[in-house]
Structure 1
Amino acid sequence: MTTADTFTAQMSITRDTGRWRLYVVIYGELVSEWPEYVFDGATVPSVQDRSRALNTLGYTFTVGPVWNWTEDHVPGDDPTGPVRLIASVPAREVAT
């Protein structure tokens, strides 16, 4: 659960490029796109790389760099289809 000043940072691999992307989910505000950082290569980024990317976007971890991993079946709920891994962590804006 997030509070008004807490957001969810998520990371998943893109289907079109095969690269990992980190993005900050922003609900309730008029934004055309969520802040996003795309990593080079298909290797899962380290926790340190994720932290640096999050800082580049103007955010930081709220409770430490422990990411929760879930899986989603693509397409839909087909258990025989490919699995998409999604990581998430609470984040907050860095004070300026």
Structure 2
Amino acid sequence: MTYEARMVTRFTGLWSLYIVTDSQWVSDWPAFDFARASAPNWAERMEALASLGYEPVNPEADWEWLELSEPDDYRVRLLARFPVQPLTSGAES
């Protein structure tokens, strides 16, 4: 089964990664908090995904980057999307 990993900057400026699963409750989605303002690099994103029990569907694929903003807000949030699947090795980091 394929899911979508999303990495976002919160309005605090810190980065988080979460997996959108079949659950209707956001609180059930696996999440990883990088707790820093600089964007995580590729290796750090892969480590975070593995720690949540996921891996890329296609390791050669690029993350899709989007800018999000509110009409009455000067701040812009970044969101990155990437297709993932449960680890096939059965071993989580």
Residue 8 of structure 1: which of 4, 11, 17 is its match? 4
Identity of aligned residues (%): 32
Gaps of 5+ in 1: none
Aligned residue pairs, count: 87
Instruction: Report 1:4-83 matches (<5 A).
Output: 5-16=1-12, 18-27=13-22, 29=23, 32-64=27-59, 66-73=62-69, 75=70, 78=71, 81-83=74-76
Q: CA deviation at 1:79?
A: 7.9
CA RMSD of aligned residues (A): 1.9
Amino acid at match of 1:61: P
TM-score by length of 1: 0.80
3-state SS of paired residue (1:52): helix
TM-score w.r.t. length of structure 2: 0.82
Superimposed CA distance per residue, residues 54-78 of structure 1 (whole angstroms, 9 cap, x where no aligned partner): 00000000112510001111x2xx2
Is the alpha carbon distance of 1:79 and 1:69 closer, same or farther for their aligned partners in structure 2, counting shifts above 3 Å? farther
* Cα pair 2:16 2:35 within 8 Å, conserved: no
